[in-house]
A = this chain, B = another copy of it.
Amino acid sequence: MTPTITAFKQSPDRGRGLARDMRVRWALEEVGQPYEVRLVTFGEMKEPAYLALQPFGQIPAYQEGDLTLFESGAIVFHIAERRAGLLPDDANGRARAIAWMFAALNTVEPPLVNRGVAALLERDQPWYGQRQPLLEAGAHRTLGELSRRLGDAEWLDGGFTAGDLMMIGVLFRSKGSGILDEYPNLAAYVARGEARPAFKRAFDDQLAVFTASSSG
């Protein structure tokens, strides 16, 4: 049964890896699982038919036979559990890889998203400059701790896992803001992720949605 994921028909980044289907595409490529993509408009995402699949009206949703899943973390975990390549075989290593998945989404992503959203939505507000030190401090505290833990290791805990995939997926979204330049080991870590053939295939496929449609 070939799974289907949903993705933006009109992506704000025009398919440059920032939308959350990127993580799921990457995971599917890492394990060699072919998949279909169904593009949805922002309007369709708020309709009852879509909300039945994804209660918060977000992308990606994942459908495979009679299973429907949402949340990129849960979808990547589902893929990682069923096919080899993203979770270690030993129980303790597997549990730690899962811990890094949760850390990526619940500890590292929130301060980076808050900083990014403020830059996008509040840049013209009178308080933007005054709140900047708060936002920067939150992002740097987390990135500093992550950088210290990674040190000069290649991946977070032994070989590449779904924990690295989620963490690099989160960090990649902040790369364009320049904040990773202050953490050379994190910048190199993200670059190692981007250099993986599965990342490249996922990235190219996401981008092709937009390069194809803009030539049409």
Contacts and interface: CB of A to CB of B under 8 A. Distances in A.
Interface size of A as a range:
35 or more
A125 B114 contact: no
Contact of A55 (B109, B114, B134, B145): B145
A119 interface: no
Q: How many copies does the complex hold?
A: 2
Interface string A136-160: 0000001001101100000000000
Interface of A: 51, 55-58, 66-75, 77-78, 92, 95-96, 98-99, 101-103, 105-107, 109-110, 113-114, 121-122, 125-127, 130-131, 134, 142, 145-146, 148-149
Given A58-B107, A67-B92, A110-B113, 17 more contacts: A51-B148, A51-B149, A55-B103, A55-B145, A56-B145, A57-B145, A68-B96, A71-B103, A71-B106, A73-B106, A74-B99, A74-B101, A105-B105, A110-B110, A121-B134, A122-B131, A125-B127
